[in-house]
Structure 1
Amino acid sequence: MAEIKIAAEARTEFGKGAARRIRRADNVPAVLYGHGSDPVHVTLPGHQLMLALKNSNALLTIDLGTEQHLAIPKQVQRDPIRGFIEHADLLIVRKGEKVTVDVRIHVVGEAIGGTLVVQENNTIAVEAEATHIPESFEVSIQGLDVGAQIHASDIELPSGSTLAVDPELLIVNITAAPTEAQLEAELAEAEAEAGIEHDAPEGEGDAPAEGDAEASSEGDAAESSESE
């Protein structure tokens, strides 16, 4: 993974008011920490950081002018509605050291017809060198049939990376696709649990009221008398 260099400024103002001023200027407040050193508070350019963090395990070189820090994202807070980055915690790393990170899994290919592909886990934890973190893993389901499963141990890891989870962790499970009748039954059960009732279609099962029946009989009798 290539290093992404970002120019930063040391941050001396703290608190919610200072953070709001930083964000209004399209920047992001961030903290660098790790290796027993004191936290380094910085301000990063928002757009550049957003582009860099399209990969959640991006390797960043934070340039403060007088010093540089190699870091990876540890925790990123985003606005729940607009999605922009509100704050970033960055872990300082060193070349050659190993870190444990979650790497995204992409499923490719198509299972045979009539199956349902269930991805049980979207990421997997691995231990890798800080400067050689895999961007993602691909697992193929091409031609798999009902009952097939892919576990963590089935994923091919690059040299220098090792699993940091149980090898039997289920990643993908191939099951039989539900029938239309099963889907309708599940929907009906869910609606019943939620207390949803459906009105009967108009004209079905509606018996005439007693008064209406009598009025109808009297009208028929009158029509009969008139015709005589």
Structure 2
Amino acid sequence: MANYQLTVEKRTGTGKAYARQLRATGKIPAIVYGSGQEAVKLMVDTREAARAVAAVGSLINLDVEGESKTVLIKEIHSDPVRGDLLHLDFHEIDLTKTLEITVPIRVVGEENRPSDGGVVTTLLWEVEVSCLPTDIPEFIEVDVSELELDNVINVDELILPAGVEILEEPDEAVVKVDIPSLELEEEVAEEEELADEELAEEEPAEGEEAEETDEEEATEE
């Protein structure tokens, strides 16, 4: 995964009033934590911050007034109504230590599946993995081109890049091919019809039941 480049500046101001003034100039406040150092308060261009958010999950090379820091976006603060970016929290990482991170699932090959009317359903949209920061995959690809009707691909069947360990349960379903709803309805209807026929065979007719009762009474007399 390619690193995203982001230039930021240090700031000294704090508080809501300062943040509003900063946003009025086209910038938002940010902060970077980690590596056993004191947190560094930053300000970043709002448009550049939005691009960085779009690349969330990617390593970001922060240029802090000439000093380079490798970070990940830890938290995104947005306006709950308008959705505007308000603040970013970065976490500085050690490139020599493994980390745990969420990676999206990308399903491919659906258009090459057999024409059986099956519906491909994604059950797990992202997975937690452990790897070195330099080995973080952009996504994990799941090929369903040969997945047959009513079959499932589980976590333990995923093909992972070198150096990446998955942290989800091995038997958790990732994607499946559902039987078309029309076929399901027909199967249910057939099962119900068969059940009705079996029930009808087991229940004696009213005349037969009455006749058997009369015979039993006559025998008792």
Q: Give the corresponding residue for 1:20.
A: 20
Partners in 2 of 1:82 and 1:43 — Cα distance?
21
Consecutive unaligned residues of structure 1, counting only runs of 5 or more, are: 183-228
Q: How big is the shift at 1:85?
A: 2.3
- Counting matched residue pairs gives 182
> Which whole-Å deviations, capped at 9, do the CAs of 1:75-95 have from their partners, x for residues lacking one?
222345554422211111022
Q: TM-score, normalised by structure 1?
A: 0.72
Amino acid at match of 1:148: N
The residue that corresponds to 2:33 in the other structure is 33
Aligned 1:184-195 pairs, distance under 5 A: none
Q: Secondary structure at the match of 1:8?
A: strand
Whether 1:125 aligns to 2:128 is: yes
1:45-75 per-residue CA deviation (whole Å, 9 max, x = no partner) reads: 2212222332221211222225322101112
- Work out whether residues 128 and 160 of structure 1, in 8 Å CA contact, stay in contact via their aligned partners in 2: yes
Match for residue 76 of structure 2? 76
For residues 178 and 81 of structure 1, the distance between their equivalents in structure 2, rounded to whole angstroms, comes to: 38
Equivalent residue, structure 2, for 1:64: 64
Partner amino acid, structure 1, of 2:159: E
Distance 1:159 1:80, change over 3 A: same
TM-score for both structures, normalised by structure 2 = 0.74
What pairs with 1:145-156 in structure 2 (closer than 5 Å)?
A: 145-156=148-159
After superposition, residues 90-109 of structure 1 pair within 5 angstroms as 90-109=90-109
Q: Which residue number in structure 1 is paired with residue 171 of structure 2?
A: 168
What secondary structure does 2:134 align onto?
coil
CA offsets 1:95-153 (integer angstroms, 9 cap, x no match): 22211111111111224432222211111111121122111111111142222111122
1:177/1:18 Cα in 2 relative to 1: closer, same or farther (>3 Å)?
A: farther
Aligned mates of 1:165, 1:155 — CA distance in 2: 11
Structure 2 residue ranges without an equivalent (≥5): 186-221
Cα RMSD after superposing both structures: 2.1
Letter of the aligned partner of 2:152 in structure 1? Q
The structure carrying a bigger helix percent of its residues is 2
Alpha-carbon separation, structure 2, partners of 1:140 and 1:181: 25
Query: Is residue 10–residue 65 contact of structure 2 (8 Å, CA) maintained in 1?
Result: no
1:10–1:42 CA contact under 8 A, matched in 2: yes
Cα distance, 1:116–1:64 mapped onto 2, change above 3 Å: same
